Homo-oligomer: A and B are copies of this chain.
Amino acid sequence: MNYFSSDFKLGILGGGQLGKMLLYETRKYDIFTKVIDPSEEAPCKIACNDFVVGDLMDYDTVMNFGKDIDVLTFEIEHVNVNALEDLEKKGVKVYPSSKTLRTIQNKGTQKLFYTDHKIPTAPFKRFAYTSEIKDSIENGSLTTPFVWKSTQFGYDGNGVKVIRKVTDLDGLPNVECITEEMIPFKNELAVIVTRTPSEEVATYPVVEMEFHPEANQVEYVICPARISDEVAQKAQQIAVEVSKAIGHVGLLAVEMFQTQNDEILVNEVAPRPHNSGHYSIEASYTNQFEQHLRAILDLPLGNTNSKVAGIMVNLVGAEGHTGNVKYKNIEEIMALPGVTPHIYGKKQTRPFRKMGHVTIVNEDIAKARSIAEEVKNTIKVVSI
Protein backbone atom coordinates (compact mmCIF):
# COMPACT_ATOMS: atom_id res chain seq x y z
CA MET A 1 0.00 0.00 0.00
CA ASN A 2 1.45 3.34 -1.07
CA TYR A 3 0.90 5.69 1.85
CA PHE A 4 3.46 8.37 1.15
CA SER A 5 2.64 11.41 -1.05
CA SER A 6 -0.23 9.43 -2.55
CA ASP A 7 -4.03 9.28 -2.70
CA PHE A 8 -4.20 7.32 0.54
CA LYS A 9 -6.40 9.01 3.18
CA LEU A 10 -6.05 8.71 6.94
CA GLY A 11 -8.98 9.95 9.04
CA ILE A 12 -8.61 11.05 12.64
CA LEU A 13 -11.60 11.46 14.94
CA GLY A 14 -10.72 14.16 17.43
CA GLY A 15 -8.48 17.18 16.91
CA GLY A 16 -6.91 17.79 20.29
CA GLN A 17 -3.26 17.73 21.31
CA LEU A 18 -2.94 13.96 20.81
CA GLY A 19 -4.08 14.37 17.21
CA LYS A 20 -1.81 17.38 16.85
CA MET A 21 1.23 15.34 17.85
CA LEU A 22 0.13 12.53 15.53
CA LEU A 23 0.09 15.12 12.73
CA TYR A 24 3.82 15.82 13.33
CA GLU A 25 4.35 12.24 12.15
CA THR A 26 1.90 12.31 9.24
CA ARG A 27 3.63 15.49 8.00
CA LYS A 28 7.00 13.76 8.32
CA TYR A 29 5.71 10.92 6.14
CA ASP A 30 3.55 13.16 3.90
CA ILE A 31 0.42 11.13 4.59
CA PHE A 32 -2.87 12.83 3.68
CA THR A 33 -4.98 13.44 6.79
CA LYS A 34 -8.56 14.48 7.42
CA VAL A 35 -9.48 15.49 10.98
CA ILE A 36 -12.80 16.21 12.66
CA ASP A 37 -13.38 18.01 15.96
CA PRO A 38 -16.28 19.91 17.52
CA SER A 39 -14.15 23.01 18.05
CA GLU A 40 -13.27 25.46 15.28
CA GLU A 41 -10.06 26.26 17.16
CA ALA A 42 -8.92 22.68 17.67
CA PRO A 43 -5.12 22.16 17.92
CA CYS A 44 -5.33 19.98 14.78
CA LYS A 45 -6.93 22.70 12.71
CA ILE A 46 -3.72 23.32 10.82
CA ALA A 47 -1.21 20.67 9.75
CA CYS A 48 -3.88 18.31 8.49
CA ASN A 49 -4.93 18.38 4.83
CA ASP A 50 -8.64 18.68 5.55
CA PHE A 51 -10.21 19.91 8.79
CA VAL A 52 -13.91 19.52 9.50
CA VAL A 53 -15.97 20.74 12.45
CA GLY A 54 -18.50 18.23 13.78
CA ASP A 55 -19.88 16.22 16.66
CA LEU A 56 -17.93 12.99 17.21
CA MET A 57 -20.81 11.40 19.08
CA ASP A 58 -23.24 11.92 16.20
CA TYR A 59 -23.82 8.81 14.05
CA ASP A 60 -24.43 10.58 10.75
CA THR A 61 -21.53 12.96 11.24
CA VAL A 62 -19.06 10.12 11.79
CA MET A 63 -20.51 8.03 8.93
CA ASN A 64 -20.23 10.98 6.58
CA PHE A 65 -16.70 11.75 7.71
CA GLY A 66 -15.53 8.18 7.21
CA LYS A 67 -16.98 7.55 3.78
CA ASP A 68 -13.90 8.59 1.77
CA ILE A 69 -11.32 7.42 4.29
CA ASP A 70 -9.02 4.41 3.86
CA VAL A 71 -7.88 4.03 7.49
CA LEU A 72 -9.70 5.66 10.41
CA THR A 73 -8.33 6.18 13.89
CA PHE A 74 -9.30 8.28 16.89
CA GLU A 75 -7.46 10.27 19.54
CA ILE A 76 -10.36 10.34 22.02
CA GLU A 77 -12.66 7.49 23.15
CA HIS A 78 -15.82 9.61 23.12
CA VAL A 79 -16.90 8.87 19.56
CA ASN A 80 -19.97 7.18 18.08
CA VAL A 81 -18.99 3.50 18.19
CA ASN A 82 -22.04 2.35 16.17
CA ALA A 83 -20.79 4.48 13.29
CA LEU A 84 -17.34 2.93 13.62
CA GLU A 85 -18.87 -0.53 13.40
CA ASP A 86 -20.90 0.36 10.31
CA LEU A 87 -17.87 1.95 8.63
CA GLU A 88 -15.97 -1.30 9.25
CA LYS A 89 -18.79 -3.16 7.47
CA LYS A 90 -18.35 -0.80 4.54
CA GLY A 91 -14.68 -1.69 4.26
CA VAL A 92 -13.00 1.19 6.10
CA LYS A 93 -10.12 -0.05 8.24
CA VAL A 94 -10.90 1.24 11.72
CA TYR A 95 -7.98 0.98 14.16
CA PRO A 96 -8.42 0.40 16.97
CA SER A 97 -11.63 -1.47 16.12
CA SER A 98 -15.18 -0.71 17.20
CA LYS A 99 -15.04 -3.92 19.24
CA THR A 100 -11.97 -2.72 21.14
CA LEU A 101 -13.62 0.62 21.78
CA ARG A 102 -16.86 -0.92 23.07
CA THR A 103 -14.84 -2.99 25.55
CA ILE A 104 -12.96 0.05 26.79
CA GLN A 105 -15.38 2.96 26.42
CA ASN A 106 -17.49 1.91 29.39
CA LYS A 107 -15.38 1.50 32.52
CA GLY A 108 -17.72 -1.13 33.93
CA THR A 109 -17.44 -3.22 30.78
CA GLN A 110 -13.69 -2.72 30.87
CA LYS A 111 -13.43 -4.04 34.45
CA LEU A 112 -15.61 -7.04 33.66
CA PHE A 113 -13.34 -7.78 30.70
CA TYR A 114 -10.32 -7.94 32.99
CA THR A 115 -11.96 -10.28 35.49
CA ASP A 116 -13.32 -12.46 32.66
CA HIS A 117 -9.80 -12.78 31.24
CA LYS A 118 -8.17 -13.30 34.64
CA ILE A 119 -6.26 -10.05 34.34
CA PRO A 120 -5.48 -8.78 37.84
CA THR A 121 -7.40 -5.64 38.76
CA ALA A 122 -8.81 -3.99 41.90
CA PRO A 123 -12.09 -5.45 43.15
CA PHE A 124 -15.11 -3.38 42.08
CA LYS A 125 -18.88 -3.04 42.11
CA ARG A 126 -21.09 -1.69 39.38
CA PHE A 127 -24.07 0.63 39.92
CA ALA A 128 -26.75 1.84 37.54
CA TYR A 129 -26.92 5.13 39.46
CA THR A 130 -24.64 6.92 41.91
CA SER A 131 -27.61 7.16 44.30
CA GLU A 132 -27.57 3.37 44.81
CA ILE A 133 -24.16 3.61 46.43
CA LYS A 134 -25.56 5.07 49.65
CA ASP A 135 -27.84 2.02 49.97
CA SER A 136 -24.84 -0.28 49.66
CA ILE A 137 -22.96 1.62 52.32
CA GLU A 138 -26.00 1.56 54.62
CA ASN A 139 -26.47 -2.19 54.29
CA GLY A 140 -22.78 -2.80 54.83
CA SER A 141 -21.95 -4.35 51.44
CA LEU A 142 -19.64 -1.42 50.59
CA THR A 143 -17.31 0.40 52.94
CA THR A 144 -15.39 3.66 52.62
CA PRO A 145 -12.86 4.56 51.45
CA PHE A 146 -13.30 3.65 47.78
CA VAL A 147 -12.85 5.24 44.37
CA TRP A 148 -15.97 6.36 42.49
CA LYS A 149 -15.78 6.45 38.68
CA SER A 150 -18.49 7.26 36.19
CA THR A 151 -18.51 4.51 33.58
CA GLN A 152 -18.71 6.92 30.64
CA PHE A 153 -17.31 10.26 29.47
CA GLY A 154 -14.59 10.66 32.05
CA TYR A 155 -11.41 12.41 30.94
CA ASP A 156 -8.36 14.12 32.45
CA GLY A 157 -9.36 13.23 36.00
CA ASN A 158 -13.00 14.23 35.58
CA GLY A 159 -15.46 11.48 36.48
CA VAL A 160 -13.15 10.07 39.18
CA LYS A 161 -13.36 10.84 42.89
CA VAL A 162 -11.95 9.34 46.06
CA ILE A 163 -14.79 8.80 48.55
CA ARG A 164 -13.61 8.80 52.14
CA LYS A 165 -16.98 9.44 53.77
CA VAL A 166 -20.57 9.29 52.54
CA THR A 167 -20.91 13.06 52.18
CA ASP A 168 -18.12 13.01 49.56
CA LEU A 169 -20.79 11.56 47.23
CA ASP A 170 -22.74 14.82 47.36
CA GLY A 171 -22.72 16.71 44.08
CA LEU A 172 -21.62 13.76 41.99
CA PRO A 173 -23.72 13.22 38.84
CA ASN A 174 -26.36 10.52 39.24
CA VAL A 175 -25.05 8.25 36.50
CA GLU A 176 -23.94 4.70 35.83
CA CYS A 177 -20.73 4.19 37.80
CA ILE A 178 -18.36 1.79 39.45
CA THR A 179 -16.71 1.81 42.84
CA GLU A 180 -13.27 0.33 43.20
CA GLU A 181 -11.41 -0.79 46.28
CA MET A 182 -8.67 1.70 47.11
CA ILE A 183 -5.29 0.14 46.61
CA PRO A 184 -2.55 1.35 48.98
CA PHE A 185 -0.19 1.20 46.03
CA LYS A 186 3.54 1.64 46.10
CA ASN A 187 3.71 3.13 42.58
CA GLU A 188 1.46 4.01 39.69
CA LEU A 189 2.94 2.65 36.49
CA ALA A 190 2.08 2.59 32.80
CA VAL A 191 3.17 0.49 29.85
CA ILE A 192 2.39 1.34 26.24
CA VAL A 193 1.92 -1.68 24.02
CA THR A 194 1.78 -1.43 20.24
CA ARG A 195 0.23 -4.06 18.01
CA THR A 196 -0.20 -4.24 14.24
CA PRO A 197 -2.87 -5.98 12.16
CA SER A 198 -0.14 -8.52 11.33
CA GLU A 199 0.16 -9.11 15.09
CA GLU A 200 3.65 -7.65 15.51
CA VAL A 201 3.86 -6.46 19.14
CA ALA A 202 6.26 -4.03 20.84
CA THR A 203 6.22 -2.60 24.35
CA TYR A 204 7.72 0.60 25.67
CA PRO A 205 9.67 0.68 28.93
CA VAL A 206 7.62 0.90 32.11
CA VAL A 207 7.02 4.49 33.21
CA GLU A 208 6.25 5.78 36.68
CA MET A 209 3.47 8.34 37.18
CA GLU A 210 3.23 10.76 40.07
CA PHE A 211 -0.26 12.23 40.49
CA HIS A 212 -1.61 15.52 41.88
CA PRO A 213 -3.51 14.40 44.98
CA GLU A 214 -6.71 16.38 44.36
CA ALA A 215 -7.11 16.83 40.63
CA ASN A 216 -6.34 13.20 39.73
CA GLN A 217 -3.98 14.43 37.06
CA VAL A 218 -0.47 13.25 36.40
CA GLU A 219 2.27 15.68 37.50
CA TYR A 220 5.38 13.75 36.48
CA VAL A 221 5.88 10.83 34.14
CA ILE A 222 9.29 9.21 34.64
CA CYS A 223 10.96 6.90 32.18
CA PRO A 224 12.37 4.46 33.03
CA ALA A 225 10.34 3.77 36.18
CA ARG A 226 12.55 3.43 39.22
CA ILE A 227 11.48 -0.12 40.01
CA SER A 228 13.19 -3.52 39.99
CA ASP A 229 13.66 -5.39 36.72
CA GLU A 230 11.41 -8.12 38.11
CA VAL A 231 8.48 -5.78 38.66
CA ALA A 232 9.11 -4.12 35.31
CA GLN A 233 9.00 -7.44 33.50
CA LYS A 234 5.79 -8.39 35.31
CA ALA A 235 4.19 -5.09 34.32
CA GLN A 236 5.17 -5.46 30.67
CA GLN A 237 3.98 -9.06 30.60
CA ILE A 238 0.57 -8.13 32.00
CA ALA A 239 0.30 -5.24 29.56
CA VAL A 240 0.94 -7.59 26.65
CA GLU A 241 -1.71 -10.00 28.01
CA VAL A 242 -4.23 -7.16 28.09
CA SER A 243 -3.27 -6.17 24.57
CA LYS A 244 -3.70 -9.67 23.20
CA ALA A 245 -6.95 -10.26 25.06
CA ILE A 246 -8.40 -7.04 23.65
CA GLY A 247 -6.96 -7.76 20.20
CA HIS A 248 -6.28 -4.07 19.68
CA VAL A 249 -4.42 -2.49 16.79
CA GLY A 250 -2.40 0.66 17.39
CA LEU A 251 -1.28 1.90 20.76
CA LEU A 252 -2.71 0.69 24.05
CA ALA A 253 -1.66 2.53 27.20
CA VAL A 254 -2.10 0.29 30.24
CA GLU A 255 -2.13 2.09 33.59
CA MET A 256 -1.30 -0.11 36.56
CA PHE A 257 -0.76 -0.12 40.29
CA GLN A 258 2.26 -1.73 41.92
CA THR A 259 0.94 -2.93 45.27
CA GLN A 260 2.87 -2.98 48.49
CA ASN A 261 3.56 -6.68 47.78
CA ASP A 262 4.92 -5.84 44.33
CA GLU A 263 1.88 -7.30 42.60
CA ILE A 264 0.58 -5.57 39.46
CA LEU A 265 -3.08 -4.58 39.13
CA VAL A 266 -4.47 -3.07 35.95
CA ASN A 267 -6.19 0.26 36.61
CA GLU A 268 -7.39 1.49 33.19
CA VAL A 269 -6.43 1.41 29.53
CA ALA A 270 -6.55 3.93 26.72
CA PRO A 271 -6.54 2.66 23.11
CA ARG A 272 -4.56 5.56 21.65
CA PRO A 273 -1.40 7.65 22.25
CA HIS A 274 -1.37 8.67 25.89
CA ASN A 275 -0.06 11.33 28.25
CA SER A 276 2.24 8.71 29.77
CA GLY A 277 4.03 8.40 26.40
CA HIS A 278 4.76 12.04 25.58
CA TYR A 279 8.30 11.73 26.98
CA SER A 280 8.97 9.45 24.01
CA ILE A 281 9.17 12.34 21.53
CA GLU A 282 12.59 13.34 22.89
CA ALA A 283 13.65 10.22 24.75
CA SER A 284 12.78 7.21 22.59
CA TYR A 285 14.08 5.79 19.34
CA THR A 286 10.50 5.79 18.04
CA ASN A 287 8.00 8.14 19.65
CA GLN A 288 4.53 6.88 20.46
CA PHE A 289 2.84 8.92 17.76
CA GLU A 290 5.05 7.58 15.00
CA GLN A 291 4.58 4.10 16.45
CA HIS A 292 0.78 4.42 16.47
CA LEU A 293 0.94 5.50 12.84
CA ARG A 294 3.21 2.60 11.91
CA ALA A 295 0.89 0.19 13.70
CA ILE A 296 -2.40 1.31 12.14
CA LEU A 297 -0.79 1.28 8.68
CA ASP A 298 0.65 -2.20 9.29
CA LEU A 299 4.17 -0.85 8.78
CA PRO A 300 7.09 -2.38 10.69
CA LEU A 301 7.18 -1.21 14.29
CA GLY A 302 10.12 0.90 15.38
CA ASN A 303 12.55 0.44 18.25
CA THR A 304 10.83 1.25 21.59
CA ASN A 305 14.01 1.66 23.61
CA SER A 306 15.03 4.95 25.12
CA LYS A 307 18.07 6.93 23.96
CA VAL A 308 18.16 8.85 27.24
CA ALA A 309 16.09 9.07 30.43
CA GLY A 310 13.02 11.26 30.08
CA ILE A 311 10.63 12.98 32.44
CA MET A 312 7.45 14.74 31.42
CA VAL A 313 5.81 17.49 33.41
CA ASN A 314 2.25 18.45 32.51
CA LEU A 315 1.46 22.12 31.97
CA VAL A 316 -1.99 22.72 33.38
CA GLY A 317 -3.79 25.98 33.91
CA ALA A 318 -2.95 27.46 37.30
CA GLU A 319 -5.74 27.80 39.83
CA GLY A 320 -7.34 31.20 39.87
CA HIS A 321 -6.54 31.99 36.22
CA THR A 322 -9.03 31.98 33.37
CA GLY A 323 -8.57 33.80 30.06
CA ASN A 324 -5.99 34.31 27.29
CA VAL A 325 -2.98 32.24 28.19
CA LYS A 326 0.55 33.32 29.03
CA TYR A 327 3.33 30.87 29.84
CA LYS A 328 5.08 32.71 32.64
CA ASN A 329 8.84 32.04 32.95
CA ILE A 330 8.92 29.77 29.91
CA GLU A 331 12.14 31.44 28.72
CA GLU A 332 13.80 30.59 32.05
CA ILE A 333 13.05 26.90 31.79
CA MET A 334 14.22 26.83 28.16
CA ALA A 335 17.67 27.76 29.45
CA LEU A 336 17.87 24.52 31.47
CA PRO A 337 19.64 21.60 29.77
CA GLY A 338 17.51 19.04 27.95
CA VAL A 339 14.26 20.95 28.41
CA THR A 340 11.65 21.12 25.65
CA PRO A 341 8.23 22.72 26.15
CA HIS A 342 5.24 21.63 24.07
CA ILE A 343 2.45 24.18 23.77
CA TYR A 344 -0.78 22.61 22.58
CA GLY A 345 -2.23 25.81 21.14
CA LYS A 346 -5.28 26.30 23.29
CA LYS A 347 -5.81 30.06 23.44
CA GLN A 348 -7.74 30.06 26.70
CA THR A 349 -6.51 28.76 30.02
CA ARG A 350 -8.58 27.70 33.02
CA PRO A 351 -7.64 25.86 36.20
CA PHE A 352 -6.32 22.36 35.56
CA ARG A 353 -6.83 22.55 31.81
CA LYS A 354 -4.13 20.56 29.96
CA MET A 355 -2.34 23.31 28.04
CA GLY A 356 0.94 21.60 27.23
CA HIS A 357 3.77 19.60 28.68
CA VAL A 358 7.50 19.93 29.20
CA THR A 359 9.93 17.06 28.66
CA ILE A 360 13.28 16.91 30.41
CA VAL A 361 15.83 14.49 29.05
CA ASN A 362 19.20 13.62 30.50
CA GLU A 363 21.55 10.68 30.51
CA ASP A 364 21.15 10.63 34.30
CA ILE A 365 17.58 10.13 35.57
CA ALA A 366 18.30 11.70 38.94
CA LYS A 367 19.48 14.87 37.24
CA ALA A 368 16.42 14.77 34.98
CA ARG A 369 14.19 14.51 38.05
CA SER A 370 15.75 17.47 39.79
CA ILE A 371 15.60 19.63 36.64
CA ALA A 372 11.98 18.54 36.22
CA GLU A 373 11.19 19.78 39.70
CA GLU A 374 12.83 23.12 38.94
CA VAL A 375 10.78 23.31 35.73
CA LYS A 376 7.59 22.55 37.60
CA ASN A 377 8.26 25.20 40.22
CA THR A 378 9.24 27.84 37.69
CA ILE A 379 6.80 27.80 34.79
CA LYS A 380 3.23 28.89 35.46
CA VAL A 381 0.26 28.77 33.10
CA VAL A 382 -1.58 31.99 33.86
CA SER A 383 -4.01 34.33 32.20
CA ILE A 384 -2.98 37.70 30.75
User: Residues of A at under 8 Å CB distance from B?
Assistant: 2, 4-6, 20, 23-24, 27-30, 46-49, 282, 285-286, 290, 294, 299-300, 302-303, 307-308, 325-327, 330-331, 334-335, 337-347, 361
Known: A46-B46, A299-B331, A334-B299. A5 touches B345 (CB 8 A): yes
CB distance from A199 to the nearest CB of B (A): 15
| A294 close to B28 (CB less than 8 A) | no
Complex CA–CA separation, A335 to B202 (angstroms): 13
Complex CA–CA separation, A49 to B46 (angstroms): 7
| A5 close to B347 (CB less than 8 A) | yes
Complex CA–CA separation, A181 to B125 (angstroms): 83
What is the total number of copies of this protein in its complex? Answer: 2
| B285 close to A338 (CB less than 8 A) | yes
Residue among B27, B335, B337, B338 making CB contact with A24, cutoff 8 Å = B27
Most chain B CB inside 10 Å of its own CB: which residue of A299, A307, A337: A307
| A27 close to B47 (CB less than 8 A) | yes
| A303 close to B338 (CB less than 8 A) | yes
| A300 close to B5 (CB less than 8 A) | no
Query: Residues of B contacting A307 with CB < 8 Å?
Result: 307-308, 361
| B343 close to A30 (CB less than 8 A) | yes
Q: Which residue of B lies closest to A339 (CB)?
A: B302
Known: A24-B24, A299-B334. A343 touches B4 (CB 8 A): yes
Q: List 9 A-B contacts (CB under 8 A).
A: A5-B325, A5-B343, A24-B27, A27-B46, A299-B331, A300-B335, A303-B337, A303-B338, A307-B308
Known: A27-B24, A29-B343, A343-B30. A4 touches B334 (CB 8 A): no
| B342 close to A28 (CB less than 8 A) | yes
Q: Which residue of B lies closest to A297 (CB)?
A: B331
Complex CA–CA separation, A345 to B28 (angstroms): 9
Query: Residues of B contacting A48 with CB < 8 Å?
Result: 46
Query: Residues of B contacting A339 with CB < 8 Å?
Result: 302
CB distance from A331 to the nearest CB of B (A): 6
Q: Which residue of B lies closest to A303 (CB)?
A: B337
Residue among B27, B29, B340, B346 making CB contact with A341, cutoff 8 Å = B29
Query: Residues of B contacting A337 with CB < 8 Å?
Result: 285, 303
Q: Which residue of B lies closest to A33 (CB)?
A: B46
Query: Residues of B contacting A2 with CB < 8 Å?
Result: 326-327
Q: Which residue of B lies closest to A1 (CB)?
A: B331
Query: Residues of B contacting A47 with CB < 8 Å?
Result: 23, 27, 46-47
Complex CA–CA separation, A345 to B344 (angstroms): 24
CB distance from A85 to the nearest CB of B (A): 29
Complex CA–CA separation, A326 to B341 (angstroms): 35
Complex CA–CA separation, A335 to B4 (angstroms): 16
Q: Which residue of B lies closest to A2 (CB)?
A: B326
CB distance from A42 to the nearest CB of B (A): 13
Query: Residues of B contacting A335 with CB < 8 Å?
Result: 300
Query: Residues of B contacting A327 with CB < 8 Å?
Result: 2, 4-5
